[in-house]
Amino acid sequence: MKKKIFSGVQPTGNLHLGNYLGAIKNFVELNNDEENKCIFCVVDLHAITVKQNPKELRSNIRETVATFLASGIDANKSIIFNQSTVSAHSEAAWVLGCVARTGWLNRMTQFKEKAGKDKEKASLGLYSYPVLMAADILLYDSTHVPVGNDQKQHLELCRDIAQKFNIDFAADNFFKVPEPLIQKDFSRIMSLKDGLKKMSKSDLSDFSRINLTDDEDQIISKIKKSKTDTLPLPNNFNELENRPEAKNLLGIYSSLKNSDLEKTIKNFAGKNFSEFKENLSQELVDKIGPISLEIKKLLGDKGYLDKILSNGFEKANEIATKKMKNIREIVGF
Ligand code: TYM
């Protein structure tokens, strides 16, 4: 059976190494396998759960498409589209929101983190965010969803919603219950300034992350300034305990090299950070440098990026509209 892959990325700017190693790199590998049918969505409806500048949002949507393409996703072998153009996503989200229980949503740690101390001031959209995510996935009968570790709980919620809908409406197997695809080792890339904090677009310090649009000099200077500890590099995995920054940097290197962590540890055992950082910078410049240049090139041809999105819209809309018609019938509209 062909795998039906679906994933989404928010067009909120500053796409970074965490997005690349945790998700997009995996999208490219899945997309290269002829057996898979892949759909990659620019989730602008999710983006507006926190305030966005409309002009920047429009430009970030194109930049996300450019990042997909520059990273190696082939638009001829996948569907790339913009979520808000397919109205079935909003419609399905409402129906699924009537299936999901508030008790389930109250447990979502990402909402708690993003809403911060003053939950009453968070938007209703931010709270129901995972329901919209379930709509995205379920409309396409997706079987597999590649994401970083931070989306695991949302995927579990999506599975619960699918199962409850199928039971509530006696619609056996109507919604396919999707499997998350989360990489084993490098699914959570941490900040370059704090190995206990996730690398994130919203971190105020640009030195906390490598942006996919960073140039060679920026990459080298960010790695040079990245936080480390005072010990030499460890001799084995156990010695990484309580050394989050060392673990993160060694993990990034391994992931870029498609190698396992044990092997990387062995290669750099007992060396000092400055030597390791030179190797890491080189690897980043080799892998991220060309992506950064290609993103900038693609952004010069807005018409081409818009064409990719309009082709993607046609295909995605056809699939989603059909599924939505069935949802409407099942629900009794
Ligand atoms: P978003 O836009 O926050 O992130 C896009 C992808 O990047 C992964 N990611 C990371 N992986 C490892 N380390 C990090 N530091 C890191 N930061 C981000 C995320 O896990 C994600 O896979 N809710 C989703 C978008 C979404 C979606 C969907 C995903 C909407 N609908 C349907 C899958 C299926 C999000 O906000 O991703």
Q: Are residues 109 and 243 in the same domain?
A: no
Alpha carbons within 13 A on the beta-carbon side of 96: 29
Specify the number of domains making up the chain: 2
Ligand 1: centre distance to CA 19 (Å): 7
CA-to-CA dists, residue 188 to 198, 294, 307, angstroms: 7, 25, 33
Q: Quick check: is 173 in a domain?
A: yes
Which candidate, 4, 5, 17, places its Cα nearest to that of 203?
17
Ligand 1 atom at shortest distance from the alpha carbon of 142: 34
Q: Are residues 148 and 250 in the same domain?
A: no
Q: What pLDDT score does 187 carry?
A: 87
DSSP 16: B
Q: Are residues 62 and 147 in the same domain?
A: yes
Quick: pLDDT tens for 69-107.
999 999 999 999 999 999 999 999 999 999 999 999 999
Ligand 1: centre distance to CA 168 (Å): 30
Q: Quick check: is 194 in a domain?
A: no
DSSP 95-121: HHHTTS-HHHHHT-HHHHHHH-S-GGG
Give the tokens for residue 315: 């295909």
Mean pLDDT over 133-144 rounds to: 98
Mean pLDDT over 26-38 rounds to: 96
Q: What pLDDT score does 183 carry?
A: 87
Whether 35 has a pLDDT exceeding 80, the answer reads yes
Ligand 1 atom at shortest distance from the alpha carbon of 151: 20
Mean pLDDT over 238-255 rounds to: 96
Q: Are residues 313 and 272 in the same domain?
A: no
Ligand 1: centre distance to CA 270 (Å): 35
Mean pLDDT over 251-267 rounds to: 95
Q: What percent of the chain lies above the pLDDT cut of 90?
A: 95
Q: Are residues 268 and 284 in the same domain?
A: yes
Q: Are residues 120 and 136 in the same domain?
A: yes
CATH number at residue 283: 1.10.240.10
Q: What pLDDT score does 104 carry?
A: 98
Instruction: Give residue ranges with CB within 6 A of ligand 1.
Output: 6-10, 18-19, 22-23, 43, 46, 133, 136-137, 145, 147-148, 150-151, 187-189, 198-199
Mean pLDDT over 283-310 rounds to: 98
Q: Are residues 183 and 224 in the same domain?
A: no
Distance CA 148, CA 21 (A): 8
Q: Are residues 284 and 152 in the same domain?
A: no
- Report the nearest-CA residue for atom 5 of ligand 1: 9
Q: For residue 293, how many other CB atoms are within 10 A of its CB?
A: 14
Q: What pLDDT score does 2 carry?
A: 86
Q: What pLDDT score does 295 carry?
A: 98
Which candidate, 7, 16, 1, 11, places its Cα nearest to that of 199?
16
Q: Are residues 288 and 182 in the same domain?
A: no
Q: What pLDDT score does 186 carry?
A: 78
Give the tokens for residue 143: 């079987």
CATH number at residue 78: 3.40.50.620
Q: Are residues 277 and 321 in the same domain?
A: no
- Report the nearest-CA residue for atom 33 of ligand 1: 7
Q: Are residues 313 and 283 in the same domain?
A: no
Say whether 71 sits in a helix, a strand or coil. Answer: helix
pLDDT band with cut points at 50, 70 and 90 for residue 323 = very high
Ligand 1 atom at shortest distance from the alpha carbon of 43: 30
333 exposure class (CB count in 10 Å sphere: 0-12, 13-18, 19+): exposed
Sign of the CA dihedral running 59, 313, 19, 214: negative
Q: Quick check: is 198 in a domain?
A: no
Mean pLDDT over 128-149 rounds to: 97
Cβ atoms of residues 221 and 203 within 8 Å:
no
Distance CA 272, CA 249 (A): 13
Q: Quick check: is 104 in a domain?
A: yes
Q: Which domain holds residue 70?
A: 3-187+302-331
DSSP 192-218: SS-TTSB--TT-S-GGGS-BTT--HHH
Q: What pLDDT score does 252 carry?
A: 97
Q: Are residues 116 and 229 in the same domain?
A: no
Q: What percent of the chain lies above the pLDDT cut of 70?
A: 100
